[in-house]
Amino acid sequence: MNTTTGTSPEALRASMVDNIRNVGHARLNAVEQAMRDVPRHRFVPAATVTEAYANIAVITKRASDGSALSCASVPTVVAMMLDQLDVQPGNRILEIGAGTGYNAALLSQLTGPSGHVTTVDIDPEVTVQARAALDETGYPEVEVVTRDGSLGAEEHAPYDRIIVTVGAFDLPPAWWNQLAPGGRLVVPLRWRGQTRSVAFVHDRDRLRSDSVQLCGFVPMIGQDNEQSGHIDPDGLVTLYWDADQNVNLDALQGALSKPKTAVWSGVTVGNTEPFDGVWLRMTGAEPSTCRIAVEPAAVDSGLCTPAIPSRSPALVEDDSLAYFTYRRLEHEGNERRSELGAIGQGPSGLQLAQRLCDQISAWDDARTNIPIITAYRTGTTVSELRESNVIEKRFSCLAVIS
């Protein structure tokens, strides 16, 4: 239960917010103040106070297989997304994914007494607990609705801000319809195997990003359009791809037994330098971008050695693939650097590895440039979509332009 020795919740909360600020989030003064005011530990009563204010997700409900169904998100991610949302006093806000109720309390603080917050969740157990926590902490004005989040809450629309706190694979019609013109939608959106918190602005017939941040979230129930399958006989290497991609698992079964071809880009990174931007760029430039994940035994045996075993970008075409990797370089002093590259296998493995390295080099030329993600409703015909590699989903399509 919520117990700790020697350190008060208030001191731990202050330290949590200070740490969030130190890593560059809670940049908006209003977000910082809200996080200093709202007692997070009271929304996660099964956790210790120390756990409540640590920079970790607090799991509040698990499935029978142990996977997380609901949680209080990592505080730095909460702050990051609230910065992206840019709530103004008086805003009407819709939250998809009630969780513990903590985020709804923060939203209520941000929008103030002249605004309104509605939070929706498909799980009645989650909404009952969120309702109780909000009432106990002084936020009875927050509306808690038990409903499929993809339907939104039309009864309180239109909304100036919509924030989605579960991983989404698509942008269902209700979110488009219920977001006011000029409104902001912040959503952890998944495509091509990676998830980004995208802040969209509703601009006439489209949603256009002005902030894109790396993140990870519990997936939204009933919206999964990602497919997966093993490409080795022992089930140690798994490929993940989207429904609009043509991946032939049968053709790939022998690829990892083919000779490896390593191609090195000449691009290097230090120990603390991020390189996730390579993957984001690939999603707009290479239609065959997907995710590869390998078990430790596959790495240990040398069967498959991607940069990050649990999640790395790959290019897959027919019976060949190439995946993102790196190698340690000799170093002087305290600085250790790694060179980024790709390993290709199969008849077209070399060409795919070269194409992946081309994307690494393009990223290196402008590391701080963040691609613009523009979303359109499915069926839209505009020149921007004709000129780019389109990611097609059931309700929306995305153009990722670097």
The answer on 172 and 32 residing in a single domain is yes
What pLDDT, on the 0 to 100 scale, is given for residue 324? 98
Say yes or no: 258 and 187 in one domain. Answer: no
Contact 200, 209 (CB under 8 A): yes
8 CB burial (10 A radius; 0-12, 13-18, 19+)? exposed
Assigned domain for 385 exists: no
67 among known catalytic residues: yes
- In-domain check, residue 59: yes
* Domain annotation covers residue 78: yes
pLDDT, mean over the chain: 92
The predicted pLDDT at position 279 comes to 97
Residue in the structure block whose two tokens are 């740490």: 19
Tell me which residue has tokens 């979509």.
385
Residues 6+ apart with CB under 8 A from 386: none
Model confidence pLDDT, tens digit, residues 362-387: 999 999 999 999 999 988 776 666 66
Q: Within a domain: residue 221?
A: no
Question: What is the model's pLDDT at position 5?
Answer: 45
214, 249, 273 — which closes off a domain? 214
pTM (two decimals): 0.92
Q: Same structural domain for residues 186 and 264? A: no
In a domain, 260, yes or no: yes
Q: Which of 227, 326, 242 is nearest to 283 (CA)?
A: 242
Tokens 């939104």 sit at which residue?
Answer: 152
Residue 157 sits in a domain whose CATH number is 3.40.50.150
Residue the block writes with tokens 């239109």: 158
Are 132 and 245 in a shared domain? no
Same domain, 169 and 25: yes
Provide the residue range defining the domain that includes 127. Answer: 9-214
Classify residue 393: in a domain, yes or no: no
Residue 59 is predicted with a pLDDT of 78
356: in domain: yes
**pLDDT exceeding 90 applies to what percent of the chain?**
84
The mean pLDDT of 143-170, rounded to a whole number, is: 96
Residues 227-266: tens digit of each pLDDT:
999 999 999 999 999 999 999 999 999 999 999 999 999 9
Rounded distance between C-alpha atoms, residue 207 and residue 205, angstroms: 7
Mean pLDDT of 320-325: 98
Residue 3 confidence (pLDDT):
47
Beta strand 116-121 pairing with 143-146: parallel
Q: What is the pLDDT of residues 183-230, one digit of tens each?
A: 999 999 999 999 999 999 999 889 999 999 998 776 766 656 789 999
Considering its fold, how many domains does the chain have in total?
2
CA distance 191 to 242: 7
Q: What are phi and psi of 343, to 5 degrees?
A: -115, 125
Average pLDDT over residues 117-131: 96
Q: Quick one: 191 and 327 in the same domain?
A: no
User: Does residue 332 carry a pLDDT above 90?
Assistant: no
Q: Which of 8, 15, 67, 310 is labelled catalytic?
A: 67
Domain identity same for 188 and 235: no
| Buried-exposed string 89-124: b where 16+ CB fall within 10 A, e elsewhere | eebbbbbbbbbbbbbbbbbbbbbeeebbbbbbbbbe
Q: Is there a domain that residue 3 lies in?
A: no
pLDDT at 159: 98
Same domain, 48 and 172: yes
